[in-house]
Amino acid sequence: MPSTTEIDVPRGLKGVVVTETELSDVRGLEGFYHYRQYSAIDLAEQRTLEDVWHLMLLGELPDPARRAAFLARTAPLRRLPDALRPLLPALAASTAHGGPLTALGAALSIAAADRGIRPLYDTAPDRRVEDALFATALVPTVLTALHRLQQGEQPIEPRDDLGYAANYLYMLTGEEPTPAKARAIEQYLISTVDHGFNASTFTARVIASTGADLVACLVGGLGALSGPLHGGAPSRALDTLDAIGTPERIDGWIREHVLAGDRIMGFGHAVYRTEDPRSRMLRGVAESFGGELVDLAVQVEARVEAILAELKPGRELHTNVEFYAGVVMHLCGLPREMFTPTFAAGRAIGWSANILEQAADSKIIRPSARYTGPAAPAPLPAA
């Protein structure tokens, strides 16, 4: 029997409020989410990633003067630390089959040790913010360096004159991206900076509640994000479009998989019961590029919803952020193995903001579990 201090909650903590936050919220029934007091979609459509970074970590949208100061403050933090640079080739080689995300945590841990990042519990609030800026600025540089090394190419140094998203594409490809591609990736990154208490954010906050150092919390978030049911889906959603191939195959493919009970990657969300606003925005970004892939994606989206309404009436299933995210990233020249790492490059900002918020409340997160194994105590069998 549970003790008087235990409370039954739904599996997966669905719908359970575990803390208060000033950072973001998702209103799933409305199809709306926001960062602090601003619509996340409005931010993605009208602001830069640096503005959102400033908002999440420093608490306000910057005016032009503060924006310039923030850019000057963060640009030097993008550069690889001297202690990490010679170790990256070995990290890249040892994780070549897993891609750059598998080595990112180790690289960040090395950089944190070199910087002398201390446990949150032992660090003053101002230093925590500096550590968060350092880590989030470094993530894109490390990811692109690891990817290039795994492709047999040399890392490319960041440029101070390029914004976060443009720099990311430049360091990945070696070519300065067109404004349209840089802006498309920037809008994607902004749209995925934070999203309520998703699995990776909650993981990062649990670790932060122990007083661990900020990078240890980020590494925990990375582990959760790597799963195909969380951040690992964009490439799989694009695989769905590849499997369908042509418009005339759409209905047959969808019916076969729906009737078989298969999961259609890129559709459905744990919170939204309407269209995912991130998907709606990214569909518009994709349509601004146009092309056969975009046309196919739009048709697949419409037919999945129609066929589900026919075969499983009453079941609401719409595209989630991963469906059009994969299309947009493909159109901007990102290889599929970089889709989830790109997600991480944006989400690291949201994790960092949540880690800082959690660190201000030192109460450790320590839930209970109901034991369902054999009755105890049992006599030990003879040795």
**Residue of 183, 193, 189 whose CA lies nearest to 33:** 193
Give burial (CB, 10 Å; 0-12/13-18/19+) of 172. buried
The neighbouring-strand residues paired with 213 are 119
- How many angstroms separate the CA atoms of 253 and 327, rounded? 19
Token pair of 98 as six digits: 């897993």
| Residue 159 DSSP class | -
Give the DSSP letter string of 363-376.
----------SS-S
- How many angstroms separate the CA atoms of 340 and 265, rounded? 14
- How many angstroms separate the CA atoms of 315 and 233, rounded? 21
141 with 369: CB under 8 angstroms? no
Hey, which residues are catalytic here?
Answer: 269, 322
Helices (H), 151-276: 164-173, 179-191, 199-209, 214-225, 234-244, 250-259
Q: Which amino acid is at 315?
A: R
Q: Which amino acid is at 59?
A: G
- How many angstroms separate the CA atoms of 356 and 347, rounded? 14
